[in-house]
Amino acid sequence: MAQYPVVDNSTIEMMSKAFLPVQGLRDHIISYVLDVKEIAEALENECDTNDLSRSFMFWEERDRIKVAAAIIPVDKEYQICLSLTFAQYLWSVGLYLINYFDNCVQIPMMNAVGLNIHNYQPDLDAVSYAEEQFFLARQLTRTVCRESFFYTYNILNPGPYKDIIEHANGAMLGATLFLFTHELAHNYLGHTHILNTYARSVADEKAADHVAMDFIESTFDGPNGTTNKIGIALLFSSLLLMGEDSISGSGTHPHIDVRIAYIVDRLQLDPMDNIYGLIGSAIRLWLLVYGGLTLQEDMASGPFTYYKDFYDHYLSLLTSTRQRRYPDLVPPAWEV
Ligand SMILES: [Zn+2]
Protein backbone atom coordinates (compact mmCIF):
# COMPACT_ATOMS: atom_id res chain seq x y z
CA MET A 1 0.00 0.00 0.00
CA ALA A 2 1.11 3.54 -0.68
CA GLN A 3 1.80 5.65 2.39
CA TYR A 4 -0.42 8.63 2.98
CA PRO A 5 1.36 11.60 1.51
CA VAL A 6 3.00 14.40 3.41
CA VAL A 7 1.59 17.53 1.80
CA ASP A 8 3.19 20.93 1.59
CA ASN A 9 1.19 24.16 1.64
CA SER A 10 1.26 24.82 -2.09
CA THR A 11 -0.22 21.37 -2.71
CA ILE A 12 -2.94 21.91 -0.11
CA GLU A 13 -3.97 25.12 -1.83
CA MET A 14 -4.23 23.39 -5.22
CA MET A 15 -5.98 20.40 -3.69
CA SER A 16 -8.65 22.49 -2.02
CA LYS A 17 -9.53 24.00 -5.40
CA ALA A 18 -9.30 20.88 -7.54
CA PHE A 19 -12.35 18.82 -8.36
CA LEU A 20 -10.17 15.79 -9.08
CA PRO A 21 -6.35 15.63 -9.33
CA VAL A 22 -6.55 15.48 -13.13
CA GLN A 23 -7.69 19.11 -13.01
CA GLY A 24 -4.00 19.95 -12.59
CA LEU A 25 -3.58 18.92 -16.26
CA ARG A 26 -6.50 20.92 -17.70
CA ASP A 27 -4.32 23.49 -19.43
CA HIS A 28 -1.98 20.76 -20.64
CA ILE A 29 -4.90 18.98 -22.33
CA ILE A 30 -5.65 22.08 -24.42
CA SER A 31 -2.06 22.99 -25.24
CA TYR A 32 -1.31 19.38 -26.14
CA VAL A 33 -4.08 19.48 -28.76
CA LEU A 34 -3.01 22.87 -30.12
CA ASP A 35 0.59 21.66 -30.44
CA VAL A 36 -0.45 19.41 -33.33
CA LYS A 37 -0.23 21.73 -36.33
CA GLU A 38 -2.78 19.86 -38.48
CA ILE A 39 -5.33 19.87 -35.66
CA ALA A 40 -4.75 23.53 -34.73
CA GLU A 41 -5.26 24.51 -38.39
CA ALA A 42 -8.42 22.42 -38.70
CA LEU A 43 -9.79 23.96 -35.48
CA GLU A 44 -9.13 27.45 -36.79
CA ASN A 45 -10.82 26.62 -40.05
CA GLU A 46 -13.84 25.02 -38.37
CA CYS A 47 -14.25 28.09 -36.13
CA ASP A 48 -14.03 30.44 -39.13
CA THR A 49 -16.27 28.59 -41.53
CA ASN A 50 -18.25 25.83 -39.85
CA ASP A 51 -19.83 27.18 -36.65
CA LEU A 52 -17.36 25.60 -34.23
CA SER A 53 -17.27 27.48 -30.94
CA ARG A 54 -13.96 29.09 -29.93
CA SER A 55 -14.60 28.12 -26.35
CA PHE A 56 -14.08 24.69 -24.98
CA MET A 57 -15.73 23.14 -21.96
CA PHE A 58 -14.65 20.71 -19.26
CA TRP A 59 -17.49 18.93 -17.52
CA GLU A 60 -17.24 17.92 -13.90
CA GLU A 61 -19.53 14.92 -13.67
CA ARG A 62 -20.07 14.83 -9.94
CA ASP A 63 -22.24 11.73 -9.68
CA ARG A 64 -20.63 9.22 -12.07
CA ILE A 65 -19.19 9.03 -15.58
CA LYS A 66 -21.94 9.29 -18.15
CA VAL A 67 -20.26 10.91 -21.16
CA ALA A 68 -16.57 10.80 -22.07
CA ALA A 69 -16.74 13.68 -24.55
CA ALA A 70 -19.27 15.34 -26.83
CA ILE A 71 -19.87 18.19 -29.24
CA ILE A 72 -23.03 20.07 -28.35
CA PRO A 73 -24.99 23.05 -29.74
CA VAL A 74 -24.48 26.27 -27.75
CA ASP A 75 -25.80 29.60 -29.10
CA LYS A 76 -25.93 28.48 -32.74
CA GLU A 77 -22.41 27.13 -32.51
CA TYR A 78 -20.99 23.74 -31.63
CA GLN A 79 -18.81 23.33 -28.59
CA ILE A 80 -16.40 20.50 -27.83
CA CYS A 81 -16.70 19.24 -24.25
CA LEU A 82 -14.62 16.72 -22.31
CA SER A 83 -15.53 15.15 -18.98
CA LEU A 84 -12.85 15.71 -16.35
CA THR A 85 -14.30 12.75 -14.48
CA PHE A 86 -13.66 10.55 -17.49
CA ALA A 87 -10.17 12.10 -17.84
CA GLN A 88 -9.45 11.10 -14.24
CA TYR A 89 -10.70 7.59 -15.02
CA LEU A 90 -8.43 7.48 -18.08
CA TRP A 91 -5.46 8.58 -16.04
CA SER A 92 -6.04 6.00 -13.32
CA VAL A 93 -6.64 3.16 -15.80
CA GLY A 94 -3.50 4.26 -17.69
CA LEU A 95 -1.37 4.21 -14.58
CA TYR A 96 -2.62 0.73 -13.79
CA LEU A 97 -2.32 -0.76 -17.28
CA ILE A 98 1.18 0.59 -17.86
CA ASN A 99 2.51 -0.66 -14.53
CA TYR A 100 0.66 -3.96 -14.70
CA PHE A 101 1.98 -4.58 -18.20
CA ASP A 102 5.57 -3.52 -17.45
CA ASN A 103 5.88 -5.54 -14.25
CA CYS A 104 3.45 -8.43 -14.50
CA VAL A 105 3.43 -9.22 -18.24
CA GLN A 106 6.62 -7.95 -19.81
CA ILE A 107 9.20 -9.06 -17.23
CA PRO A 108 7.80 -12.61 -16.90
CA MET A 109 7.58 -12.83 -20.70
CA MET A 110 11.24 -11.73 -21.03
CA ASN A 111 12.24 -14.25 -18.38
CA ALA A 112 10.34 -17.01 -20.18
CA VAL A 113 12.26 -16.50 -23.42
CA GLY A 114 15.62 -15.72 -21.78
CA LEU A 115 15.66 -12.09 -22.94
CA ASN A 116 15.85 -10.40 -19.54
CA ILE A 117 19.58 -9.76 -19.95
CA HIS A 118 19.51 -6.76 -17.60
CA ASN A 119 17.77 -8.88 -14.97
CA TYR A 120 14.87 -6.44 -14.51
CA GLN A 121 12.85 -7.15 -11.38
CA PRO A 122 9.15 -6.30 -11.03
CA ASP A 123 8.49 -3.15 -9.00
CA LEU A 124 5.82 -4.56 -6.71
CA ASP A 125 5.39 -1.30 -4.81
CA ALA A 126 4.49 0.43 -8.10
CA VAL A 127 2.08 -2.41 -8.94
CA SER A 128 0.38 -2.05 -5.56
CA TYR A 129 -0.02 1.72 -5.98
CA ALA A 130 -1.30 1.16 -9.54
CA GLU A 131 -3.89 -1.37 -8.34
CA GLU A 132 -5.11 1.15 -5.82
CA GLN A 133 -5.55 3.72 -8.62
CA PHE A 134 -7.40 1.17 -10.74
CA PHE A 135 -9.80 0.56 -7.88
CA LEU A 136 -10.43 4.32 -7.71
CA ALA A 137 -10.94 4.45 -11.48
CA ARG A 138 -13.62 1.76 -11.40
CA GLN A 139 -15.43 3.61 -8.60
CA LEU A 140 -15.95 6.56 -10.98
CA THR A 141 -18.20 4.45 -13.19
CA ARG A 142 -20.63 4.18 -10.27
CA THR A 143 -20.03 7.11 -7.92
CA VAL A 144 -17.61 10.02 -7.49
CA CYS A 145 -15.88 10.10 -4.13
CA ARG A 146 -13.39 12.84 -4.91
CA GLU A 147 -11.66 12.81 -1.50
CA SER A 148 -10.40 9.27 -2.06
CA PHE A 149 -8.20 10.55 -4.90
CA PHE A 150 -6.43 12.93 -2.53
CA TYR A 151 -5.76 10.35 0.18
CA THR A 152 -3.14 8.72 -2.04
CA TYR A 153 -0.26 10.16 -4.04
CA ASN A 154 -1.67 11.78 -7.16
CA ILE A 155 -0.96 14.14 -10.06
CA LEU A 156 -0.83 17.15 -7.75
CA ASN A 157 1.25 15.41 -5.13
CA PRO A 158 3.26 12.62 -6.82
CA GLY A 159 5.68 11.87 -3.96
CA PRO A 160 7.85 8.82 -4.70
CA TYR A 161 5.77 7.89 -7.75
CA LYS A 162 6.78 10.95 -9.78
CA ASP A 163 8.17 8.93 -12.71
CA ILE A 164 5.23 6.58 -13.14
CA ILE A 165 2.75 9.40 -12.57
CA GLU A 166 4.41 11.48 -15.32
CA HIS A 167 4.20 8.48 -17.63
CA ALA A 168 0.47 8.18 -16.90
CA ASN A 169 0.07 11.95 -17.45
CA GLY A 170 1.51 11.56 -20.95
CA ALA A 171 -0.73 8.59 -21.78
CA MET A 172 -3.79 10.53 -20.57
CA LEU A 173 -2.83 13.50 -22.78
CA GLY A 174 -2.50 11.17 -25.79
CA ALA A 175 -5.92 9.67 -25.01
CA THR A 176 -7.66 13.05 -24.62
CA LEU A 177 -5.98 14.22 -27.85
CA PHE A 178 -7.86 11.45 -29.64
CA LEU A 179 -11.12 12.16 -27.80
CA PHE A 180 -10.92 15.86 -28.67
CA THR A 181 -10.02 15.17 -32.30
CA HIS A 182 -12.85 12.64 -32.64
CA GLU A 183 -15.34 15.35 -31.55
CA LEU A 184 -13.71 17.88 -33.88
CA ALA A 185 -14.08 15.33 -36.68
CA HIS A 186 -17.87 15.23 -36.14
CA ASN A 187 -17.95 18.95 -36.95
CA TYR A 188 -15.42 18.65 -39.78
CA LEU A 189 -17.55 15.92 -41.39
CA GLY A 190 -20.73 17.98 -40.99
CA HIS A 191 -22.37 15.54 -38.57
CA THR A 192 -23.24 18.38 -36.20
CA HIS A 193 -25.24 20.16 -38.91
CA ILE A 194 -27.53 17.32 -39.91
CA LEU A 195 -30.13 15.58 -37.84
CA ASN A 196 -28.53 12.47 -36.45
CA THR A 197 -30.54 9.32 -36.94
CA TYR A 198 -30.20 6.01 -35.24
CA ALA A 199 -29.49 4.33 -38.58
CA ARG A 200 -26.73 6.76 -39.48
CA SER A 201 -24.87 7.17 -36.23
CA VAL A 202 -22.75 4.01 -36.39
CA ALA A 203 -21.37 5.06 -39.77
CA ASP A 204 -20.75 8.59 -38.44
CA GLU A 205 -18.82 7.25 -35.46
CA LYS A 206 -16.65 5.11 -37.69
CA ALA A 207 -15.99 8.09 -39.96
CA ALA A 208 -15.06 10.27 -36.95
CA ASP A 209 -12.56 7.64 -35.73
CA HIS A 210 -11.13 7.51 -39.23
CA VAL A 211 -10.66 11.28 -39.54
CA ALA A 212 -9.27 11.57 -36.00
CA MET A 213 -6.63 8.98 -36.90
CA ASP A 214 -5.83 10.88 -40.12
CA PHE A 215 -5.11 14.01 -38.06
CA ILE A 216 -3.13 12.33 -35.28
CA GLU A 217 -1.15 10.09 -37.62
CA SER A 218 0.98 13.14 -38.49
CA THR A 219 2.46 13.00 -34.96
CA PHE A 220 3.53 9.35 -35.07
CA ASP A 221 7.02 10.07 -36.37
CA GLY A 222 7.50 13.04 -34.03
CA PRO A 223 8.63 13.32 -30.39
CA ASN A 224 5.12 12.53 -29.04
CA GLY A 225 4.45 9.67 -31.45
CA THR A 226 4.82 6.83 -28.95
CA THR A 227 2.94 8.74 -26.24
CA ASN A 228 0.05 9.32 -28.63
CA LYS A 229 -0.06 5.70 -29.73
CA ILE A 230 -0.07 4.58 -26.09
CA GLY A 231 -2.76 7.17 -25.38
CA ILE A 232 -5.02 5.89 -28.16
CA ALA A 233 -4.54 2.30 -26.97
CA LEU A 234 -5.33 3.50 -23.44
CA LEU A 235 -8.51 5.27 -24.55
CA PHE A 236 -10.00 2.20 -26.20
CA SER A 237 -8.83 -0.03 -23.33
CA SER A 238 -10.56 2.35 -20.92
CA LEU A 239 -13.79 2.43 -22.92
CA LEU A 240 -13.77 -1.37 -22.92
CA LEU A 241 -13.15 -1.54 -19.16
CA MET A 242 -16.09 0.76 -18.34
CA GLY A 243 -18.28 -2.30 -17.79
CA GLU A 244 -19.73 -5.59 -18.94
CA ASP A 245 -21.93 -4.01 -21.62
CA SER A 246 -19.22 -1.78 -23.09
CA ILE A 247 -18.41 -4.44 -25.70
CA SER A 248 -21.67 -3.61 -27.47
CA GLY A 249 -21.92 -0.47 -29.57
CA SER A 250 -25.62 -0.33 -28.57
CA GLY A 251 -26.54 0.55 -32.13
CA THR A 252 -24.99 4.02 -31.84
CA HIS A 253 -21.28 3.13 -32.16
CA PRO A 254 -19.42 0.28 -33.85
CA HIS A 255 -18.90 -2.58 -31.40
CA ILE A 256 -15.81 -2.01 -29.29
CA ASP A 257 -13.86 -4.96 -30.75
CA VAL A 258 -14.52 -3.55 -34.24
CA ARG A 259 -13.31 -0.10 -33.15
CA ILE A 260 -10.22 -1.56 -31.46
CA ALA A 261 -9.31 -3.67 -34.49
CA TYR A 262 -9.59 -0.64 -36.77
CA ILE A 263 -7.65 1.73 -34.49
CA VAL A 264 -4.85 -0.72 -33.70
CA ASP A 265 -4.44 -1.44 -37.39
CA ARG A 266 -3.97 2.28 -38.02
CA LEU A 267 -1.22 2.49 -35.34
CA GLN A 268 1.08 0.48 -37.67
CA LEU A 269 2.84 -1.34 -34.86
CA ASP A 270 5.74 -3.74 -35.06
CA PRO A 271 4.60 -7.26 -34.01
CA MET A 272 6.77 -6.98 -30.88
CA ASP A 273 5.51 -3.49 -29.94
CA ASN A 274 4.57 -3.21 -26.26
CA ILE A 275 1.36 -1.42 -27.24
CA TYR A 276 -0.03 -4.73 -28.54
CA GLY A 277 0.77 -6.11 -25.09
CA LEU A 278 -0.85 -3.18 -23.32
CA ILE A 279 -4.16 -3.36 -25.15
CA GLY A 280 -4.07 -7.18 -25.17
CA SER A 281 -3.72 -7.06 -21.36
CA ALA A 282 -6.80 -4.82 -21.10
CA ILE A 283 -8.84 -7.18 -23.29
CA ARG A 284 -7.65 -10.21 -21.29
CA LEU A 285 -8.64 -8.44 -18.06
CA TRP A 286 -12.14 -7.69 -19.40
CA LEU A 287 -12.56 -11.34 -20.47
CA LEU A 288 -11.48 -12.65 -17.06
CA VAL A 289 -13.65 -10.21 -15.10
CA TYR A 290 -16.79 -10.55 -17.21
CA GLY A 291 -16.72 -14.27 -17.86
CA GLY A 292 -15.52 -14.37 -21.47
CA LEU A 293 -12.66 -16.60 -20.37
CA THR A 294 -12.00 -18.86 -17.38
CA LEU A 295 -8.69 -18.90 -15.53
CA GLN A 296 -8.20 -22.51 -16.69
CA GLU A 297 -8.74 -21.54 -20.31
CA ASP A 298 -6.43 -18.59 -19.90
CA MET A 299 -3.67 -20.76 -18.44
CA ALA A 300 -3.87 -22.93 -21.54
CA SER A 301 -3.37 -19.87 -23.80
CA GLY A 302 -0.04 -19.27 -25.49
CA PRO A 303 2.89 -19.24 -25.35
CA PHE A 304 3.00 -16.24 -27.66
CA THR A 305 6.00 -15.37 -29.79
CA TYR A 306 5.00 -11.75 -30.38
CA TYR A 307 2.83 -9.30 -28.48
CA LYS A 308 0.77 -9.11 -31.66
CA ASP A 309 -0.11 -12.83 -31.24
CA PHE A 310 -1.07 -12.16 -27.62
CA TYR A 311 -3.34 -9.28 -28.74
CA ASP A 312 -4.84 -11.22 -31.68
CA HIS A 313 -5.67 -14.14 -29.40
CA TYR A 314 -7.58 -12.06 -26.83
CA LEU A 315 -9.21 -9.80 -29.44
CA SER A 316 -10.68 -12.82 -31.23
CA LEU A 317 -12.06 -14.08 -27.90
CA LEU A 318 -13.56 -10.64 -27.29
CA THR A 319 -15.20 -10.69 -30.72
CA SER A 320 -16.72 -14.14 -30.21
CA THR A 321 -17.97 -13.16 -26.72
CA ARG A 322 -19.57 -10.01 -28.12
CA GLN A 323 -21.16 -11.91 -31.03
CA ARG A 324 -22.65 -14.38 -28.54
CA ARG A 325 -23.97 -11.77 -26.13
CA TYR A 326 -24.99 -8.97 -28.51
CA PRO A 327 -25.82 -10.67 -31.80
CA ASP A 328 -28.46 -8.34 -33.24
CA LEU A 329 -28.01 -4.77 -32.12
CA VAL A 330 -26.16 -3.47 -35.15
CA PRO A 331 -27.28 -4.11 -38.73
CA PRO A 332 -25.11 -6.91 -40.12
CA ALA A 333 -24.26 -4.89 -43.22
CA TRP A 334 -22.03 -2.74 -41.04
CA GLU A 335 -19.70 -5.50 -40.01
CA VAL A 336 -18.37 -6.48 -43.40
ZN1 LIG B 1 -18.50 10.30 -31.74
Mean of pLDDT values over 121-137: 96
Measure 9 CA to ligand 1 centroid, in angstroms: 41
Cα of 171 vs centre of ligand 1, distance in Å, is 20
Q: Which pLDDT value is given to residue 198?
A: 58
Report the separation in Å between the CA atom of 251 and the middle of ligand 1, taken as the mean of its atom positions.
13
In this predicted structure, what is the pLDDT of residue 332? 44
The alpha carbon of 31 and the centre of ligand 1 are apart by a number of angstroms equal to 22
CA of 111 to the centre of ligand 1 (A): 42
Reported as a single tens digit per residue, the pLDDT across 229-238 is 999 999 999 9
| Ligand 1 midpoint to CA 205 (Å) | 5
Q: Which residues, including other chains, have CB under 8 Å from residue 311's CB and lie 6 or more apart?
A: 264, 276, 277, 279, 280, 283
73 C-alpha to center of ligand 1: Å? 14
Burial of 283 (0-12, 13-18, 19+ CB in 10 A): buried
Write down the pLDDT at residue 284: 96
Under 8 Å between Cβ of 189 and 211:
yes
Gap between the Cα atoms of 245 and 162, Å rounded = 34
pLDDT (tens digit, 9 = 90+) per residue, 195-207? 666 567 888 999 9
Q: Mean pLDDT across the chain, nearest whole number? A: 90
The predicted structure's pLDDT at residue 4: 37
What pLDDT does residue 5 have? 39
pLDDT at residue 250, as a whole number:
80
Question: Is pLDDT above 70 for 330?
Answer: no
Q: How far, in Å, from the CA of 88 to the mean position of ligand 1?
A: 20
- The answer on pLDDT for 261 being more than 70 is yes
The Å distance, Cα 262 to ligand 1 centre, comes to 15
The pLDDT tens digits of the residues spanning 172-222 come to 999 999 999 999 999 999 998 886 665 678 889 999 999 999 999 999 999
Residues, CB within 5 angstroms of ligand 1 (ion) = 205, 208
Q: What distance in angstroms lies between residue 100's CA and the mean position of ligand 1's atoms?
A: 29
